[in-house]
Structure 1
Amino acid sequence: MPIRIPMELPAFQVLSNENIFIMNDERANNQDIRPLKIAILNLMPKKIVTENQLLRYLSNTPLQVEIKLIQTKSYVSQNTPSEHLNKFYSYFDDIKHEKFDGLLITGAPVEQMEFEDVTYWKELTEIMEWSKTNVFSTVHICWAAQAGLHYHYNIPKYDLKEKMFGIFSHGVNDEKADLTRGLDDVFYAPHSRHTEVKREDIEKVLELEILSESEDAGVFIVATKNRRNVFITGHMEYDRNTLKEEYLRDKEKGDNIEIPKNYFKNNDVNETPQYTWRGPASIVFGNWLNYCVYQNTPYDLSTL
């Protein structure tokens, strides 16, 4: 089944060229199936890139999905054309009266700042508070996972001695859990962050479950037992070359950055990066849409 997005959105052509089933509004309006309403609060600098990444995985299920893109009003992106933002994005004030089956909050390159010092922190907390009553299930990615755990459960983040940067192996703590169902005993996923949350802090919150973790990268997938909130500390949505682009960007800035671990063959940056997490990412995003949203969200969202 398709994902429903405007034909003018860059992702429409990108995903169509990849033979991914995309549906425009006119065709979708002629169907009797109610699409899942999914909002994406995009905090990443290169918003078009992140749109393509997330929409690629949200389209890889038998479910019809209708997307609403949201940007912050308290901080305006400097890396995305204003014409694109004006055409395809809404502000929170524009949509706060609506109900959504799901919400994704992306990461952001601000994890070394105190939460309260982030320009849009107040706005973000308003959105996370609103999600309690207006969204059935919310996924928080990377920094947003740390922000969500801090806001909802007062769980702190900790500075790392060096950046967690590369592709790391992970295990599944409960093979019957809905979110991790179908994952291999060992699977891979990207991380790119300077901070972490710790198992011992999460275990103090009875409402939370640690569904996946890594010996090297630590806690990975955390969720409330009712799956109304999901926290993923890495970047399963990343493309093959995303870590490479981040590495080259940081090297050009003169940062003391190591080559991403377990990413380039023989650690040779001239080699094509190994894409080892595409399957696990499809499973996790598909499981979220199916088990955490579609199977449980009310047909009439006004009853949420």
Structure 2
Amino acid sequence: MPLNLPSRLPAVEILKSENIFVMDSQQASTQDIRPLRIVILNLMPLKITTETDLIRLLSNTPLQIEVDFLKISGHISKNTPVEHMMTFYKDFSTLRNENYDGMIITGAPVEQMPFEEVDYWKEVSEIFDWARTHVTSTLYICWAAQAGLYHFYGVPKYPLPQKMFGIFKHKVYDHQNPIFRGFDDEFYVPHSRHTEVRKSDIEKVPELTLLSESEESGVYMVMARGGREFFITGHSEYSPYTLDTEYRRDLDKGLPIEMPLNYYRNNDPKEGPLVRWRGHANLLFSNWLNYFVYQQTPYDIREIK
């Protein structure tokens, strides 16, 4: 797809090397169409990696997309160069009067803290509320999914006895929902988290619809407001070696970590990962963009309410 990105964003060259078509802002300006405007609130520590993972999936439709990156004001990223943040990221204060067709809010390495103790909880809550009146559809991922469910619907999170870590099989509850168009009856998703939300709490809230779960990893996808909000507990956007990198990082630090389940060929890290979530991930993002963003957003983006 023609993905309109800043020409010097590192993800551009990475994705071109993978034979994925991206378009920088200079080339996109020659096309006489209104691109979909997507804003990404990137709360992950390795921001360049997360940017690349998300853009890889956003590139899988024929729609032209213009991407803005949003950061938390005053929060210094320790794992991303300051120059990168200053060049490619904007503060909420500069975007709050804008409207977007879609928004993605990532996970964050704060899931074991109570929500209110996260130093940017006040601002992220304000961004959640803003999205309801300025964005057609918002995709909440991992910690953001837990945070959104808690902020809007009072759904609590619970600590797990050990990290949910690996690739898990999921089932679809509503095959008629367009978000699942093209899905198989079962599909796989990476998970990497220390906490969970529970089905029993989701079912107490009439505004929430549980769309998918796993016998092993629990609740996966919850929908609200007719698809204007999706809460996804897994990491469908992960590249093949993300879990491997996390596993080896924790081993090197001497942290208690089990080998990711259902991930390595023959359960042997030396044989590398068996990738079986990529097809589902591409369908998930293309279905979201097509059926819940592109087909729902008004032509005049200022009419989003």
Residue 173 of structure 1 contacts residue 211 of structure 1 at CA under 8 Å; is this kept in 2?
Answer: yes
2:164 and 2:96 map into 1 onto residues whose CA distance is 35
Other-structure match for 1:155: 155
Structure-2 residue corresponding to 1:70 = 70
Structure 1 partner of 2:125: 125
The corresponding residue for 1:33 is 33
Q: Give the aligned partner of residue 60 of structure 1.
A: 60
Q: Secondary structure at the match of 2:270?
A: coil
Whether the aligned pair in 1 keeps the contact of 2:2 and 2:28 (CA below 8 Å) is: no
Q: Is the 1:167–1:260 Cα contact (8 Å) retained in structure 2?
A: yes
1:265–1:271: 8 Å Cα contact kept in structure 2? yes
The one-letter code sitting in structure 1 at the alignment partner of 2:145 is: A
2:234 maps to 234
Shift of 1:31: 1.4
Partner Cα distance (1:182, 1:127) in 2: 32
**How far apart are the structure 2 equivalents of 1:205 and 1:4?**
38
- Secondary structure at the aligned position of 2:48 is classed as helix
Structure 2 equivalent of residue 259 of structure 1:
259
Q: Is 1:74–1:119's contact at 8 Å kept on the other side of the alignment?
A: no
Unaligned runs of 5+ in 1: none
> Matched residues in 1 for 2:19 and 2:6: separation?
17
- What is the alpha-carbon distance in structure 2 between the residues aligned to residue 294 and residue 99 of structure 1? 14
Counterpart CA distance in 1 for 2:176 and 2:226 is: 15
SS in 1 for 2:216: coil
What TM-score comes out, normalization by structure 1 length?
0.98
- SS of the aligned residue for 2:179 comes to coil
SS of match in other structure, 1:77? coil
CA distance in 2, matches of 1:197, 1:232: 11
Residue 170 of structure 1 aligns with an amino acid whose one-letter code is H
Task: Write the letter of the residue equivalent to 1:138.
Answer: T
1:49-90 CA-partner distances (Å, limit 9, x unpaired): 000000000011111110000111142100000010110010
Residue of structure 2 equivalent to 1:100: 100
Does residue 1:293 correspond to 2:293, yes or no? Answer: yes
In 1, the alpha carbon distance for the partners of 2:297 and 2:203 equals: 27
Corresponding pairs, count: 304
Q: What do you get for the CA RMSD once the two structures are aligned?
A: 0.9
Write out per-residue CA displacement over residues 20-53 of structure 1, whole angstroms, 9 at most, x where no aligned residue: 1111212211212111000000000000000000
Q: TM-score of the superposition, structure 2-length normalised? A: 0.98
CA distance in 2 between counterparts of 1:166 and 1:74 reads 33
Find the residue that maps to 2:169 and give its secondary structure: strand
The question of whether the paired residues in 2 share the 8 Å contact of 1:189 and 1:235 is answered with: yes
* Percent of aligned pairs with the same amino acid: 56
